[in-house]
Structure 1
Amino acid sequence: MIRSVRTSDAEAICTIYNHFVNHTVVTFEEDPVTTAEMENRIKEISMRFPYIVLELDGTIKGYAYATTWKTRASYRFSVETTVYLEPGTEGNGYGFALYSHLIDLLKQQNIHSVIGGISLPNHASIRLHEKCGFRYLGKFSEVGYKFNIWVDVGYWELIL
């Protein structure tokens, strides 16, 4: 079941997200996020943009949301999107289901441009974005530094 996020989902979302914080360069955040901080993020983001979760048998298995791309007024029809799945649930179509649902919600909000930034390499995320219709725009080399390595970030775009 895909539904809108609730602040009560913050702990489950932290469990998923903090795995990536602690073990990967998928996110450039370096310190685990507390449940209280995640509740604040959920409230702030979901006031303006879609923030959804995938729930199976009462357990959050993934989440996706859109957020501001840039703060200048002319960017108001563009968003950056994020999707995370519980480790071990990849390859079951959950990411595609979440992203497709998120994109449908963004269309309803008259969003024009959807941008996905992906730390490289990340073949699963690239496949997901391209399956959802995003096209590769280019990359910034060595813009992130985590776990003592420089990380490139690629950008994909979907025009709605």
Structure 2
Amino acid sequence: MIRPITIQDAQQIVDIYNYYVINSIVTLDLVSFSAQEFEDKIKTISNDFPFIVYEENNEVLGYAYANTFRTKPAYKNTVELTVYIKHTELGKRIGKKLYSELLFQLKNKNYHVVIGGLTLPNDASVKLHENFGFEKVAHFKEVGYKFGKWHDVGFWQLTL
């Protein structure tokens, strides 16, 4: 089931996210988050943008949301997307289901452009974005440093 996020989801969401903070370059965050920090994030983001979860048997297996791309008013119809899937549930098309719903909601709210920023390499996320019609529009080399190495970041864009 895909549904809007609630504050009660914070612990499950932070557990999903912190796995990637600790074990991968998918996020360039370096320090794990607390459930309280994610509660604040949920409140802030869900006030203005879609923030959804994928749930099975009362367990959150993934989440996705849109957020501010840049703060200048002229960018108000452009958003940046985020999706994370519980690491034990990868390959089950949960990300595709979440993105389908998120893009549907954003189109209905008259957003014009959606952007996905990816730490590279990340073949699964590149494939997810390109399957929805996103096109790579930028590649920044060695802009993030994690696990003793420099990492590239790419941006993919879709016009709704």
TM range (shorter): over 0.9
2:52 aligns with: 52
2:156 aligns with: 156
- Please state if 1:85 is matched with 2:90: no
Shift of 1:109: 1.1
Percent identity over the alignment is: 46
Distance in structure 2 (CA, Å) of the matches to 1:90 and 1:120? 18
Distance in structure 2 (CA, Å) of the matches to 1:118 and 1:36? 26
Distance in structure 2 (CA, Å) of the matches to 1:21 and 1:108? 32
Shift of 1:137: 1.1
1:15 aligns with: 15
Q: Runs ≥4 in structure 1, deviation > 6 angstroms?
A: none
- Please state if 1:128 is matched with 2:128: yes
Distance in structure 2 (CA, Å) of the matches to 1:32 and 1:66? 21
In the superposition, the TM-score normalised over structure 2's length comes to: 0.98
Shift of 1:37: 0.4
Shift of 1:138: 2.4
Distance in structure 1 (CA, Å) of the matches to 2:44 and 2:114? 19
1:118-159 deviations in Å (ceiling 9; x for gaps): 000000000100111111112000110111110100110000
SS at match of 1:47: helix
1:65-100 deviations in Å (ceiling 9; x for gaps): 000000000000000000000002121111100001
Cα RMSD, aligned residues only: 0.6
SS at match of 2:48: coil
Single out whichever of 5-14 and 129-138 deviates more from structure 2. Answer: 129-138
Letter in 1 for 2:37: E
Which consecutive unaligned segments of at least 5 residues does structure 2 have?
none
1:24-76 deviations in Å (ceiling 9; x for gaps): 11111111100000000000000000000000111000000000000000000
- Please state if 1:32 is matched with 2:32: yes
Which consecutive unaligned segments of at least 5 residues does structure 1 have?
none
SS at match of 2:87: coil
In the superposition, the TM-score normalised over structure 1's length comes to: 0.98
1:43 aligns with: 43
SS at match of 2:102: helix
Aligned length: 160
